Amino acid sequence: MAEKKILLTQDGYDKLVEKLDYMKSVRRIEISERLKAAIALGDLSENSEYDDAKNEQGRLEGEISELEAKLRNSDIIQAQVGADTVVIGSTVTVRDVELDEVETYMIVGSTEADPDNNKISDESPLGAALLGKGAGTIVKVEAPAGLLDFEILEVK
């Protein structure tokens, strides 16, 4: 069974590559130094420093493998300049109809979603509701607070 493709913007892809490089170079060396220091302490059977370093090394190698798999299975998405409907990579300005509040979001793949920085996943309730819609459309979004209406003001 083929693995599911991971959708990333170029920025998101670059950040994962940077994180992977850091883990492979800096973090591996730091943990290696910790292991050497712990081994120098002697008896490994009762050496908690050694056990901690080995556990950290295992977690790091697992994270590295996971990142490599994500990068291997990723597709870089390009926002379609001039597109008048929302796609992954679009920047969308919406108005909460009830609260009359305006927000701007970038629609991204789930791997790089960061709601604190207004990057929402295409799989989130709002992101999924916006996909394929254009400016002037009102979308209904099921949220914990109930059914919310958002008007799409602009798609970039």
* pLDDT at site 3: 65
* pLDDT score, position 26: 97
Confidence category of residue 4, pLDDT binned at 50, 70, 90: confident
What's the mean pLDDT in 124-138?
Answer: 95
Name the nearest CA neighbour of 90 among 30, 46, 155.
155
Write the CATH number of the domain with boundaries 6-76: 1.10.287.180
List C-alpha distances in Å: 131 to 47, 106, 139: 55, 11, 10
Domain boundaries, the chain: 6-76, 91-155
Residue 93 to residue 104: CA distance in whole angstroms: 4
CATH code given to domain 91-155: 3.10.50.30
Mean pLDDT of 98-117: 93
| Whether residue 81 has pLDDT greater than 70 | no
Question: Strand 101-108 and strand 119-121: pairing?
Answer: parallel
Instruction: Tell me what the mean pLDDT of segment 40-54 comes to.
Output: 84
pLDDT in tens, 5-28: 888 888 889 999 999 999 999 999
Query: Is-same-fold flag (6-76; 91-155)?
Result: no
Whether the predicted pLDDT of 38 surpasses 90:
no
What average pLDDT score do residues 40-64 get?
89
pTM of the model: 0.72
* pLDDT at residue 140 tops 60: yes
- CB atoms inside a 10 Å sphere around CB 19: 14
